Structure 1
Amino acid sequence: MDWLNRMNGAIAYIEENLEGEIDYRTAAGIACCSVYHFQRMFSYMTDVPLSEYIRRRRLTLAAFELQQSGIKVIDVALKYGYESPEAFARAFQKLHGVAPTLSRSMGVNLKSYPRLSFHITIRGADEMNYRMVEKEAFAVFGVEEIFTTVDGENLKGIPQMWQRLMQDGTVDRLGMASGMDWKPGTPGICPVNAVMCYRDTGGASFPYMICAFDSEKARTEGYVRVEIPALTWAVFTTEEYSVEQTTAQVQSLWKRIYTEWFPMSGYEPETGPEFELYGTAESGLEYCEVWIPVKKKLG
């Protein structure tokens, strides 16, 4: 499949440049997606952040060279992108459990991480609930922060942002500013939700906004306001869950979208904003809708 071929092509580029500089934009370009989407897909498909994969592969190759040649530690450190022998030694110790100089000793235990390749895995025990939606342009407003996918920082930082803004009353104030006549526990989508990737912040970073939808009744003063263009959306819905399960359920849905739905769907992500809409079911439990802009795959 073209999608798998592109991902494997990106891995080939990374592997060919482990001894030099790896340009994330080049790798993402080979995969035909943005840097953000490439890192996100990589992390969801492998359960390892891209930066961690690169670090493991470089230190694997460094250990082989130290064992099999008389290369100096400083030379192997520079070869694999470390600015000093000290920084290399710390990273090597953390991964392998021994100092670089000891890796040459017989009987020393070291770790080896092989090159990745992507293949189709047959799944399907659990269904995925989705629908396709064409929506005209609209606007949202809210509170913005910038996150990065490096080392999975976004997976920790975003839940912390929600917790902080809920505790200080920001989420409640944003809900009132939306102008929606809504009370907690009312079935349906809540007035305060989340949008991300609505503008390019460069490299591995992306903007994330806890937001409300703009309308004639909304009061947007003091908030960041973003125009959302007309797009075609793939909309996915979680199973119902308790409040304590929110983070796990939403992150699990994102992973399934990238590892199960996109490879087989005939669609690929369109560069643009992505939404998480949070709702209350008739049962009183919670659910989440993930909205991703998509386009049909070429060829």
Structure 2
Amino acid sequence: MEWTECLRGAIAYMEKNLMEDIGPADVAQAVHISPFYLQHGFRMVTGYTLGEYLRCRRLYLAALDVLSGSGTVLETAYKYGYDTPESFTKAFTRFHGLPPTQVRKNSRAIKPFLPLTVKIEIQGGNEMDYKIEKMDGFELIGFIREFQHETSYGKIPKFWDEVMALASSSSRHETQNEVEKAIFDHKIGEFGACFQGFAEGRFFYMIGGIYKGGPVPLGMATIHVPAADWAKFRCVGPLPGALQAVNTKVFSEWLPGNPDYEPSMPINLEWYSMDCCPDSSPNDYESGVWLPVRAK
């Protein structure tokens, strides 16, 4: 299925099953795509995670039910998947700005959230600065943490701050402990790797480098990246803006407009030149987005 049709199919499936207990894995299965790429791409294109979309749509419909008086707060809470009236009221108030009991007195305060329509305008998607390169399998070593799709944009930069502080420490003195030595030897920070998590709505993110053998210190791990063809997109500019812009174009322009390739594995890599730290990058800083692909 084409990438654009996957997104449209995902929205159609969620709309049809809003009253059911569904999650990202169910949506991905319905459109025959990896949950990792569906969640990643859906957010890039729409600005919402799958979970956020489902929640916003349900809370809007719940407000219409409350306004019409079709059920009690308890009945409405259960109808839209909340375990208790308290959890429903809290979510409802956070979304609409007032509790359910006040909706009938102030119906104009209801926050509309209508079904999304995916209309992607292709603007030179295949003219992006990229190359297709076949690579043998390789190992990455680094620090891994699990993130929720909904909060990852705020938390991953803090994760980088932690690791970069360790990297800076490892380069300041000759006497290094095991972790500092591994950071220095394997160039930890050259790659950021996103890959499928175990829990629904979550993914793993590694800050790492190419593993060259030797001990793996406590607190670090290795992952194997299989041999693949990689679409390597070049980014030039200060971080994180330049990299985020290219990443968004990959999913909103390149994938929908590319007749030849589609993602092949639930992983994508960020590559960073090691000339400076990502939080102090100049206007000509070079980085990249790497996407494993296969011919359609």
- If the TM-score is normalised by the length of the shorter chain, which range does it land in? 0.7 to 0.9
Query: Tell me, what secondary structure is at the counterpart of 1:168?
Result: helix
Picking from 270, 284, 289, the partner of 2:264 is 270
Tell whether 2:43 aligns with 1:43: yes
| Cα-to-partner distance string for 1:157-177 (whole Å, 9 max, x where unaligned) | 221111011113477534422
* Corresponding position of 1:141: 141
Aligned equivalents of 2:9 and 2:234: distance in 1?
32
Alignment-mate amino acid for residue 221 of structure 1:
V
Question: Is the 2:10–2:27 Cα contact (8 Å) retained in structure 1?
Answer: yes
Specify whether residues 284 and 65 from structure 1 end up closer, same or farther in structure 2 by C-alpha distance, changes over 3 A only: closer
Question: Is the 1:132–1:235 Cα contact (8 Å) retained in structure 2?
Answer: yes
Aligned equivalents of 1:284 and 1:204: distance in 2?
34
Aligned equivalents of 1:209 and 1:125: distance in 2?
28
* Corresponding position of 1:221: 216
Tell whether 2:170 aligns with 1:176: no
Q: CA deviation at 1:36?
A: 1.8
- The TM-score normalised by the length of structure 2 is 0.84
* Corresponding position of 1:32: 32
Q: CA deviation at 1:247?
A: 1.7
Q: Give the CA RMSD over aligned residues.
A: 2.5
Question: Is the 1:103–1:110 Cα contact (8 Å) retained in structure 2?
Answer: yes
Aligned residues: 277
Q: CA deviation at 1:61?
A: 0.5
Tell whether 2:149 aligns with 1:154: no
Aligned equivalents of 1:134 and 1:126: distance in 2?
19
Question: Is the 2:122–2:253 Cα contact (8 Å) retained in structure 1?
Answer: no
Aligned equivalents of 2:126 and 2:7: distance in 1?
25
Aligned equivalents of 1:132 and 1:119: distance in 2?
27
Query: Tell me, what secondary structure is at the counterpart of 2:273?
Result: strand
Query: Tell me, what secondary structure is at the counterpart of 2:239?
Result: helix
Specify whether residues 272 and 72 from structure 1 end up closer, same or farther in structure 2 by C-alpha distance, changes over 3 A only: closer
Alignment-mate amino acid for residue 61 of structure 2:
L
Structure 2 portions without partners, runs of 5+: 172-179, 276-281
Aligned equivalents of 1:200 and 1:77: distance in 2?
30
Q: CA deviation at 1:280?
A: 6.0
* Corresponding position of 2:116: 116
Aligned equivalents of 2:17 and 2:235: distance in 1?
39
Aligned equivalents of 1:227 and 1:261: distance in 2?
27
Aligned equivalents of 2:209 and 2:28: distance in 1?
31
Query: Tell me, what secondary structure is at the counterpart of 1:146?
Result: strand
Question: Is the 1:177–1:219 Cα contact (8 Å) retained in structure 2?
Answer: no
Alignment-mate amino acid for residue 77 of structure 1:
A
Question: Is the 1:276–1:288 Cα contact (8 Å) retained in structure 2?
Answer: yes
